[in-house]
């Protein structure tokens, strides 16, 4: 995770073509590497999500078959951790910390502002697939609260004006009320 004050990242583009058949070859490789290292299933899911941008059903099924892990267990992990997503996420990802320190420093106002600007609630992706907004628990940077993470870059001491700046930097935020 990167940290920044007022700078912004360019943002990486995630492959999001839902109509394509999912290529399962990378799953086989990632499963094998994970087994060789003896890493946890959570680590594997993180790597798989890093590759696909989310956790497609076919991929979860493939992991279950290859590692002989019950699907129920994989789905339990995939839905327990907010960092995982079972649906494609936007090209850009905005995480808003709603932990206690950030909450008292204005996180609810930032969530409201983002919802108005983007027309989505936390956990949703804008209709154009550009941005996904996610509320998360403490990110461990409480002194910087309220904290927003745009595409992996941490922005602290956020204000509504700074949120607008971040949205502008990715060409988002046309919905107004
Ligand atoms: S509460 Fe937000 S970073 Fe700790």
* pLDDT the model gives residue 14: 38
At 5, is the pLDDT very low, low, confident or very high (cuts 50, 70, 90)? very low
Task: Give mean pLDDT, residues 118-143.
Answer: 91
Q: Report the pLDDT value the prediction gives residue 3, as an integer from 0 to 100.
A: 46
161/14 Cα distance (integer angstroms): 27
Q: DSSP 3-state assignment of 33?
A: helix
Query: Could you give the 3-state DSSP secondary structure of residue 69?
Result: coil
Question: Reduced to 3 states, what is the DSSP secondary structure of residue 98?
Answer: coil
160-175 in b/e form (b: 16+ CB < 10 A) is eebbeebbebbebbee
Residues with CB under 6 A from ligand 1: 97, 99-102, 138-142, 145, 147
Q: Among candidates 95, 105, 165, which has minimal Cα distance to 133?
A: 95
139 Cα nearest atom in ligand 1: 3
What's the rounded mean pLDDT across residues 80-88?
83
Instruction: Return the H-helix or E-strand segment holding 133.
Output: strand 131-136
Top pLDDT among 112 and 136 is at 112
Q: How far, in Å, is the centroid of ligand 1 from the Cα of 138?
A: 4
Q: How far is ligand 1, taken at its centre, from the CA of residue 158, in Å?
A: 12
Ligand 1 centroid to residue 160 C-alpha, Å: 17
Give me the domains of the chain, ranges plus CATH numbers. Answer: 2-13+89-169 (3.40.30.10), 25-80 (no CATH)
pLDDT digits 0-9 by tens, 93-107: 999 999 999 999 999
Q: Write the pLDDT tens digit of every residue in 8-66.
A: 333 333 344 444 588 999 999 999 999 999 999 999 999 998 888 889 999 999 999 99
pLDDT at 20: 54
- Per-residue pLDDT, averaged over 99-122, amounts to 96
Which residue's alpha carbon is nearest to atom 1 within ligand 1? 99
Tell me the per-residue pLDDT of 133-152, one tens digit each, with 9 for 90 and over. 999 888 889 999 999 999 88
136 contacts: CB under 8 Å, gap ≥ 6: 82, 83, 95, 96, 97, 98, 99, 149
């Amino acid at each position: 995770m990167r940290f920044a004050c007022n700078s912004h990242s360019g943002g990486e583009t995630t492959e999001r073509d839902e109509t394509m058949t999912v290529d399962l070859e990378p799953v086989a490789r990632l499963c094998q590497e994970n087994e060789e290292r003896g890493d946890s299933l959570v680590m594997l899911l993180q790597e798989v999500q890093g590759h696909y941008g989310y956790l497609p059903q076919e991929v979860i099924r493939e992991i279950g078959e290859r590692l002989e892990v019950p699907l129920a267990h994989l789905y339990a992990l995939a839905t327990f951790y907010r960092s995982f997503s079972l649906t494609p996420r936007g090209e850009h990802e905005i995480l808003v910390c709603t932990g206690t320190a950030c909450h008292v420093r204005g996180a609810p106002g930032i969530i409201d502002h983002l919802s108005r600007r983007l027309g989505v609630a936390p956990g949703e992706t804008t209709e154009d697939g550009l941005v996904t907004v996610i509320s998360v628990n403490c990110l461990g940077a409480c002194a910087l609260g309220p904290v927003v993470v745009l595409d992996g870059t941490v922005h602290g001491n956020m204000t509504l004006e700074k949120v607008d700046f971040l949205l502008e930097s990715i060409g988002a935020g046309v919905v107004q009320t």
